Structure 1
Amino acid sequence: MPTLRNYFSSLRCGVITGSFLLLGHASLYAQSDASVAQTEGQAASAVKTEVVLASEVKWQHLNPARGDASPAAGTLWGDQTQDGESGFLVKFRDGFASPPHIHNITYRGIVIDGALHNDDPEAQLMWMPAGSWWTQPAGEVHITAARTHSIGYVEIQSGPYLVQPPSEASDNGERPVNMDVSNIVWQNATDTDWIAGEVKADASENAMLTFLWGQPDGKEAVGTMLKLPASFQGQLSTLSSSLRVVVVQGELDLQVDDNGMAKTLPTGSYFGANGPSEHCLSSEDECVIYVRVKGKYSLNPR
């Protein structure tokens, strides 16, 4: 059950009101690339933070042509049925297996719950557990299957998201990626300047980052995951014009007012902002979140 908690009495993140309005300001990180440097004045405007709890997601058929045989889709941001970028949850029933098909656009996915297989029709089943991720190029024939009740997060850079027959297959030059969670390489503050602070001797006490897609040069959209340790408190700040965050595993507490009150975001929940912003975060237990920005961000643990 989502709750409001007071974890942030010692942190200040410039929250303006309890309706998720936050004050963006200059980043806590120094950007070495002059081409992406921005001034504090550019980020000093009020930016509304949108929050969607997993319990608030409205579900519809992902592929209306298949009716109840289709997985269910629940929009988190944007609108996958229209032109433009969007991110949405996809819910699969136990034992689901799609026929061979293609999509008109490339998409990227993260397993939120259960186990998913996404590959060529002839490929051996490779079940990806929660925390794994994959990419599916436009026009490539594939199947998707679920072992147990499963949920994935899917993101597209343009829409609408359509399911089409193999007869319309094409090769756009992209190649798919299936990354099992056990093969993910995590970086700490020693390895990347996207995380501030000193590295602790106990690796389990450090915040960790992994880059999923895009070029982390601060010039274009990039997708990452952050692993926050138990008892984490800190700030996520960005000068980006677009921030999208999805809880992949665990629960995340997000500060929502100047009094330090926080709203609990369970797995599958989302928050985002369309402009420079700073967010106070906390997690009682280890938590993994997906973070997408256009540019860069900084995580500053306390």
Structure 2
Amino acid sequence: MPYLLRHTVLPLVAVLAITGCNATSAPIEKSSSATETRYEMVLKSEVNWEHLNPARGDKSPSAGTLWGDRNGRQATGYLLKPTDGFSSPPHIHNVSYRGVVISGLIHNDDPDAAKMWMPAGSFWTQPKGEVHVTAAKGDNTLAYIEIEEGPYLVWPAIQAFDNGERPVNVDQSNIVWLDGSTINWLPHNDSENKLEIAYLWGEPNGDQHYGALIKLPAGFNGKLVSEGESLRAIVIKGQPEYQSPDQQQSNNLTPGSYFGADGSSEHKISSNSTTETILYLRTNKMLRIE
């Protein structure tokens, strides 16, 4: 795997080349019954906020878990909410993480690097053991952070080590969106308002987890079908209406809200007539839009 340089904001096509995504793989047949599926949903207004790094108290950004457990051993997704002007001291983490900017501006880089502010919709990764600083600009900065295993800890820079991974910063302007002319499970639509997907990490043609952004156009009204063992979905943009089979009515999801399921699942989603919806999705099988 070629090394990726920290100081360059990379086009997402480079990430696709590295991960070897096969974007045109067909959906995999459903292997479990709907009765085995467990659905869950967390509205952003329901998030329980706490200090990300308790040792720093009020100087630490706030964090709110959406799924999993940051203090446990399992994979976890949570929201990061730093204050305007926040800048961390140089530090490392014991685990690698991925991040997607939801609002505001985030900088994440080597301590001596010039500021590269990533706006909403941008994606970055931070390898464990690498010294870095994280900074924020904006009164309502929010990001989604995901780890493959916990616990998530902050260690001093003096304990730095090289685990072989290299960081990636992808500005939202460099995200490569694919539509139905390339992805055979997306409806093909030649208009400007079309369904699109951008693969961020992993390989969607295998059984391992992968992550992607999916764009639902304004006025979309349909169903997201997952054949995976699990689906985790976070609203990055828009305020879609959402309903799972175990809900009697739909819910309005603001950016930072989460829905998911363990087991093959179906999720009704609709965008309003004027605003597109962007979701970050994590699953381990191909998806379907109906």
Shorter-chain TM-score bucket reads 0.7 to 0.9
Deviations, residues 53-101 of structure 1 (Å, cap 9, x unaligned):
0000000000001011000100000011111100000100010000000
Q: In 1, distance between residues paired with 2:46 and 2:26?
A: 40
Q: Give the one of 139, 151, 174 matched to 2:165.
A: 174
Match of residue 112 from structure 2: 122
Q: In 1, distance between residues paired with 2:162 and 2:95?
A: 12
Matched letter for residue 153 of structure 1: Y
Q: In 2, distance between residues paired with 1:45 and 1:31?
A: 27
Contact 1:244 1:270 survives alignment (8 Å)? yes
Q: Give the one of 109, 113, 123 matched to 1:133.
A: 123
Match of residue 87 from structure 1: 77
Deviations, residues 22-78 of structure 1 (Å, cap 9, x unaligned):
xxxxxxxx9658xxx4456x3343423101000000000000010110001000000
Q: In 1, distance between residues paired with 2:217 and 2:46?
A: 27
Matched letter for residue 66 of structure 1: R
Alignment length (residue pairs): 264
Contact 1:43 1:239 survives alignment (8 Å)? no
Cα shift at 1:257 = 5.4
Contact 2:92 2:128 survives alignment (8 Å)? yes
Cα shift at 1:256 = 4.2
Cα shift at 1:250 = 1.1
Cα shift at 1:238 = 1.2
Q: Give the one of 247, 258, 262 matched to 2:250.
A: 262
Who wins on radius of gyration, i.e. which is larger?
Answer: 1
Structure 2 unpaired stretches of 5+: 1-23
Matched letter for residue 271 of structure 1: F
Q: In 2, distance between residues paired with 1:263 and 1:130?
A: 23
Q: 1:68 to 1:226 in 2, by over 3 A?
A: same
Cα shift at 1:259 = 9.4
Match of residue 241 from structure 1: 229
Matched letter for residue 154 of structure 1: I
Cα shift at 1:219 = 1.6
Q: In 2, distance between residues paired with 1:81 and 1:53?
A: 21
Secondary structure of 2:207's counterpart equals coil
Q: In 1, distance between residues paired with 2:286 and 2:206?
A: 5
Contact 1:110 1:134 survives alignment (8 Å)? yes
Match of residue 202 from structure 1: 191
Q: Give the one of 254, 260, 272 matched to 1:272.
A: 260
Cα shift at 1:295 = 1.9
Match of residue 69 from structure 1: 59
Q: Give the alignment's TM-score, normalised by structure 2.
A: 0.87
Q: Give the one of 191, 207, 211 matched to 1:223.
A: 211
Matched letter for residue 261 of structure 2: A
Contact 2:88 2:133 survives alignment (8 Å)? yes
Secondary structure of 1:192's counterpart equals coil
Contact 1:131 1:181 survives alignment (8 Å)? yes
Whether 1:287 and 2:277 are equivalent positions in the alignment is yes
Whether 1:193 and 2:184 are equivalent positions in the alignment is yes
Match of residue 13 from structure 2: none
Pairing 1:138-157 to 2, within 5 Å after superposition: 138-149=128-139, 150-157=141-148
Structure 1 unpaired stretches of 5+: 1-29
Contact 1:256 1:263 survives alignment (8 Å)? no
